[in-house]
Amino acid sequence: MSVKNDSASTPPRMAPQANHNLSWIAMVAMAAMCLAVLVYAASINLD
């Protein structure tokens, strides 16, 4: 899979001031969800 991540890694600049808080909350929520999934999988594997 040789797909360039140039457009995917750079966020679109539509309204930086308006969407700053929303994107930050979404980023934190996705990080927390990924962490919760990792902890959940680890607890299942430890059983």
Domain ranges of the chain: 15-46
Find the helix or strand (DSSP H, E) in which 13 lies. none
- Kindly provide the b/e burial profile for residues 26-35, where b requires at least 16 CB atoms within 10 angstroms of the residue's own CB: eeeeeeeeee
11 CB-near residues (< 8 Å, 6+ apart) = 23
Distance of CA 26 to the CA centre of its chain: 7
Model's pTM, two decimal places? 0.48
Question: For 9-43, what is each residue's pLDDT tens digit?
Answer: 555 565 556 567 788 899 999 999 999 999 999 99
Write down the pLDDT at residue 46.
77
